[in-house]
Amino acid sequence: MTNWKSYLSRVARGRDHAEDLSREEAEALFIAWLDGALPEHVAGAFWVAYRIKGESLEELQGFHDALRSHFDLLSKPGRVLPVVFASYNGTKRRANLLPVLALALTRCGVPVVIHGPDLPTVSTASSPDPIAENTVYTAQILQRLGLASASSLAEADTLLRLQGLVYLPLSAWLPGLQRIFALRGSLGIRSSVHTLVKILHPFAPREAVVCAAVTHPRYLQRLQEFFLQTEILALCFRATEGEPFANPQRCPDLFTCQHGSARLLLAKDEMPVSRLVDLPENTVSATSAFTLGVLKGQYPLPRPLAEQAAVLLLMSGRCGDLTSARRLLRRTFSRIAA
Q: Which domains does the chain have, with CATH numbers?
A: 4-68 (1.20.970.10), 83-332 (3.40.1030.10)
Q: Does residue 263 register a pLDDT over 70?
A: yes
- Among candidates 173, 172, 73, 161, which has minimal Cα distance to 111? 161
Q: Cα separation of 164 and 83, whole Å?
A: 11
The set of residues, in sequence order, having a beta carbon less than 8 Å from that of 129 and lying 6+ positions away, is 185
Write out pLDDT tens, residues 29-84: 999 999 999 999 999 999 999 999 999 999 999 999 999 999 999 998 889 999 99
- Among candidates 253, 276, 251, which has minimal Cα distance to 264? 253
Report strand pairing: 233-238 vs 209-214: parallel
- Among candidates 240, 242, 131, 241, which has minimal Cα distance to 183? 131
pTM of the model: 0.93
Instruction: Decide if 172 contacts 202 (C-beta within 8 A).
Output: no
| Helix (H) and strand (E) counts in the chain | 14, 7
Instruction: Decide if 84 contacts 208 (C-beta within 8 A).
Output: yes
Check residue 332 and report its DSSP letter: H
239 SS3 class = coil
Write out pLDDT tens, residues 201-228: 999 989 999 999 998 888 899 999 999 9
Q: Cα separation of 203 and 200, whole Å?
A: 9
Share of the chain above pLDDT 70, in %: 93
As a whole number, the mean pLDDT across the chain is: 91
The set of residues, in sequence order, having a beta carbon less than 8 Å from that of 126 and lying 6+ positions away, is none
DSSP for 114-173 reads EEE----SS--TT-S-TTTTT-B-HHHHHHHTTPPBPSSHHHHHHHHHHHSEEEEEGGGT
Residue with more model confidence, 15 or 302: 302
Write out pLDDT tens, residues 264-295: 999 998 766 656 778 999 999 999 999 999 99
Write out pLDDT tens, residues 231-253: 999 999 999 999 999 999 889 99
